């Protein structure tokens, strides 16, 4: 039976007259209702692990805008925490983790099979969302791709160039490879449980893929995502995967085949017309309006949205930003974007 929801139809390879639309970080700080719920939760991690409140913030942009999909509200660093890393957030600065740079620190991590007790609140959120979302709204689960998660676990925080991870990769490949394997195994287990709980699509975010050069890009961005996608296809053959190797540039070409994903999400560093010629022939693409348009709005937002829709109208396309909306985004500009996509 053919899927009925628009995003599932696009992921199945159908070219639709109006592309379905959702937005990375659509549940977030740009929305006043999100800020109120986060204040109620007390802090970010408490919000992630409170299934009722996480369900609420996931639903908020669906109520306000009627997006075609909701994405589970969680964080990519919950997997490291479930593996045994310490995780906390510093206000105004972002996440902090205990570091994994030695064999003994790697050995102290839990096996992938033991992460589920910690992550049960996330699975509960997925179950609640699958019951509460409108019948025509697709539920997307997600995880960070292994390279991106590893960069945080090695450095203990976000870094501008992922330097600590590159250094460990060069200086102690055995520990680096061991960590990548552990993250890959945990990510498979995590996403399988999300799908069992009701996720209809899952997305892999490799936010720092662009810092990997040459063969390292293949070995540490593409191959781990391929391994995860292959495992999910085996256990859940009807659940499509969206892969997002952000910053891939010309290396987006061929990514569908290399990863095995139903869809490749592209960032705003590549032109939609190029994507239509070189990436979209291989399958569904997602993207790729610059998130700065959600701040500035106006005629430029409308013109660029129309240009992207027009460039990608010849094949399966899910409209999205090239990266997540920023906290200074204007909710009215989000509505303008949606109206432009849907109204021409």
pLDDT digits (tens, 9 = 90+) for 321-334: 999 999 999 999 99
Residues pairing with 71 in the sheet:
140
Domain assignment present for residue 1? The answer is no
**Whole-Å CA distances, 232 to 187, 191, 193, 244, 259:** 10, 8, 11, 16, 12
Sequential pLDDT tens for the chain (344 residues): 667 999 999 999 999 999 999 999 999 999 999 999 999 999 999 999 999 999 999 999 999 999 999 999 999 999 999 999 999 998 888 999 999 999 999 999 999 999 999 999 999 999 999 999 999 999 999 999 999 999 999 999 999 999 999 999 999 999 999 999 999 999 999 999 999 999 999 999 999 999 999 999 999 999 999 999 999 999 999 999 999 999 999 999 999 999 999 999 999 999 999 999 999 999 999 999 999 999 999 999 999 999 999 999 999 999 999 999 999 999 999 999 999 999 96
The CATH number of whichever domain residue 225 belongs to comes to 3.20.20.210
Cβ atoms of 321 and 287 within 8 Å: the answer is: yes
In the block, tokens 């992630």 appear at 48
pLDDT score at 92: 83
Domain assignment present for residue 126? The answer is yes
Q: Which residues contact 326 (CB under 8 A, 6 or more apart)?
A: 30, 291, 292, 294, 295
| Listed residue (252, 257, 188) closest to 224, CA to CA | 188
pLDDT score at 344: 65
Residues pairing with 245 in the sheet:
206
Domain assignment present for residue 316? The answer is yes
Give the pTM: 0.98
Domain that holds residue 281: 6-343
Residues with active-site annotation: 25, 29, 38, 75, 152
pLDDT score at 91: 83
Q: How many distinct structural domains can be found in the chain?
A: 1
Cβ atoms of 149 and 183 within 8 Å: the answer is: yes
Domain assignment present for residue 293? The answer is yes
């Amino acid at each position: 039976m053919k899927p009925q929801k628009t995003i599932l139809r696009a992921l199945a390879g159908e070219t639709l007259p109006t592309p379905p639309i959702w937005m990375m970080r659509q549940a977030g700080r740009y929305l006043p209702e999100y800020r109120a719920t986060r204040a109620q939760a007390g802090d970010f991690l408490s919000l992630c692990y409170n299934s009722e409140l996480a369900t609420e913030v996931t639903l908020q942009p669906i109520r306000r805008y009627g997006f075609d999909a909701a994405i589970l509200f969680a964080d990519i660093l919950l997997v490291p925490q479930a593996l045994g890393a310490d995780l906390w957030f510093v206000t105004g600065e972002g996440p902090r983790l205990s570091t994994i740079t030695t064999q003994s620190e790697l050995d102290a991590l839990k096996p992938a099979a033991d992460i589920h007790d910690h992550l049960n609140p996330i699975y509960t959120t997925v179950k609640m969302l699958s019951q509460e979302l409108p019948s025509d709204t697709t539920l997307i689960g997600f995880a960070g791709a292994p390279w991106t998660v590893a960069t945080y676990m090695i450095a203990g925080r976000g870094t501008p160039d992922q330097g600590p991870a590159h250094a460990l990769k060069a200086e102690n490949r055995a520990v680096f490879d061991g960590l990548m394997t552990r993250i890959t195994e945990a990510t498979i287990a995590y996403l399988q449980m999300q799908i069992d709980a009701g996720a209809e699509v899952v997305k892999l975010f490799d936010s720092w893929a662009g810092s990997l050069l040459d063969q390292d890009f293949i070995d540490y961005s593409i191959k781990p995502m391929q391994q995860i996608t292959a495992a999910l296809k085996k256990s859940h053959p009807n659940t499509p995967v969206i892969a997002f190797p952000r910053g891939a540039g010309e290396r987006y070409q061929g990514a569908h085949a290399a990863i095995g994903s139903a869809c490749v999400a592209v960032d705003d560093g590549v032109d939609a017309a190029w994507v239509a010629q070189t990436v979209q022939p291989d399958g569904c693409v997602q993207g790729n309006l610059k998130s700065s348009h959600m701040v500035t709005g106006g005629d430029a937002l409308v013109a660029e949205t129309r240009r992207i829709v027009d460039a990608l109208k010849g094949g399966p396309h899910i409209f999205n930003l090239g990266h997540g909306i920023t906290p200074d985004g204007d909710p009215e500009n989000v509505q303008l974007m949606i109206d432009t996509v849907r109204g021409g």
